[in-house]
Amino acid sequence: MTEFSREELNQFIGLHRESKNFINLNPIQRGGILTPEARKALVEFGDGYSIYDLSPGLEIEKIPLVKRFISDILPRFLGADAVRITLGAREGIFNVMHSITKPGDTILVDGNRHYTTITAAERAGLRVIEVPDSGYPEYRIDVENYEALLKEHKPKLLILTYPDGNYGNLPDAKKLGEISKEYQVPYLINGAYAVGRMPISMKEIGADFIIGSGHKSMASSGPIGVLGMDKKWEKPLLRRSDRYPEKSVEFLGCELRGSAIATLMGSFPAVVERVKNWSREVENSRYFIDKIEEIDGIKQLGVRPTGHDLNFLETRVFYEISKRHKRRGFFLYRELKKRGITGIKPGMTKNFKLSTYQLKKEELKIVINAFEEISRMD
């Protein structure tokens, strides 16, 4: 039998988040902070398969509360006809690719897509054509540029990342909906940074699929995501097993397991509320950008004014300091940490992304003051 030393095992005891009470600016983390209700649900349903206890003897997807959530509440929330729980945004994108394309097919994606859109396409054996962004400083995706590539490459699927995860740009998704209908090509909107943060409706956009991420933007423990679809895609996506006619092939029976679903449901009422307050989030984000752009050598890149809490900053002022600082690029991370702020990648000073999502005005002010103070360092 394998032997492990006491030291080898002890390293896993007392796992600790030093920065738990810091102001965290990491965009990947801000939308996944649990609500108090979700935290209670997590503790209640933390044990492996304890979600079964909600309705003993039923398959998870048949538990009445879960069933109502998936077949009524979530479709209305996403503006979709049918919804499935996935293991995350990337897995949902792969589910769609694997169900409605064949290896060798071409797909058209925006140049600002997440890297996992590419790995999912590679896993599905697809050829990927990218619609380029406009480059520095806006990195704008003009959806009209899909048209020429549509004609040239006859893609089997269009993907738009809305917003993208670098600049928080929000392309004209609705216009792409019209284009997709004109060319009759299915259209997937990757809303990993939209669903659960801002109002978004698949139907209003005119998309065929919508992807969301529980751990990124729906105040959930992960891994968990949502996939909404138009009813015309239920047949390929929800195709049943020959041997087990109740079971889905693409989702291997059911992707829904474990405690993540308890947090997705537990946070849902608060998520509905926060989505309603999206305009305040955008106001806060613009306020923050306005204030830090008063610092000489800091500039928001991407489309302006920002329409999202996730923003990309060019910060020449910090880069200049890093050149003369003994800690080099790491000084910024350290200086922020001293002030109870985290989430900027250690070593980065020239440019980086951050999110102000759900930060209170006082917290924004602490961050603004920190940036100002640090920018004045010798």
CB nearer to a copy of itself: pick between 198 and 303 = 198
* Six token digits for residue 23: 């102001």
Interacting stretch for a copy of itself, rule CB under 8 A, among 86-94, 133-141, 160-168, 367-375? 86-94
Of residues 211-230, those binding a copy of itself (CB under 8 A) = 214-216, 219-224
Interacting stretch for a copy of itself, rule CB under 8 A, among 112-120, 133-141, 287-295, 310-318? 112-120
Q: Which residue among 129, 149, 249, 282 contacts a copy of itself (CB under 8 A)? A: 249
Q: Which residue among 111, 253, 297, 307 contacts a copy of itself (CB under 8 A)? A: 253
- d(CA 109, CA 102) in angstroms, rounded, equals 17
Q: Which residue among 248, 284, 300, 356 contacts a copy of itself (CB under 8 A)? A: 248
- d(CA 18, CA 330) in angstroms, rounded, equals 18
Q: How many CB atoms lie within 10 A of CB 360?
A: 10
289, 306 contact by CB (below 8 A): yes
Q: Does 199 bind a copy of itself (CB under 8 A)?
A: yes
- d(CA 268, CA 260) in angstroms, rounded, equals 12
Q: Which residue among 144, 182, 272, 283 contacts a copy of itself (CB under 8 A)? A: 272
Phi, psi values for residue 104, rounded to 5°: 100, -20
Q: How far is the CB of 80 from a copy of itself (least distance, A)?
A: 11
Q: Does 241 bind a copy of itself (CB under 8 A)?
A: yes
CB nearer to a copy of itself: pick between 257 and 304 = 257
Of residues 275-314, those binding a copy of itself (CB under 8 A) = 275-276
Q: Does 188 bind a copy of itself (CB under 8 A)?
A: no
Q: How many CB atoms lie within 10 A of CB 364?
A: 18
Interacting stretch for a copy of itself, rule CB under 8 A, among 143-151, 168-176, 250-258, 307-315? 250-258
Q: Which residue among 67, 96, 104, 118 contacts a copy of itself (CB under 8 A)? A: 118
213, 195 contact by CB (below 8 A): yes
Q: Does 42 bind a copy of itself (CB under 8 A)?
A: yes
Q: Does 50 bind a copy of itself (CB under 8 A)?
A: yes
CA dihedral over 102, 103, 106, 111, signed as positive or negative: positive
Q: Is 268 exposed, middle or buried (0-12, 13-18, 19+ CB in 10 A)?
A: buried
Of residues 52-81, those binding a copy of itself (CB under 8 A) = 52-54, 56-57, 65, 68-69, 73, 76-77, 79
* Of the candidates 121, 176, 118, the residue with the CA atom closest to the CA atom of residue 147: 176
Which CA distances in Å does 158 have to 76, 101, 341? 23, 11, 39
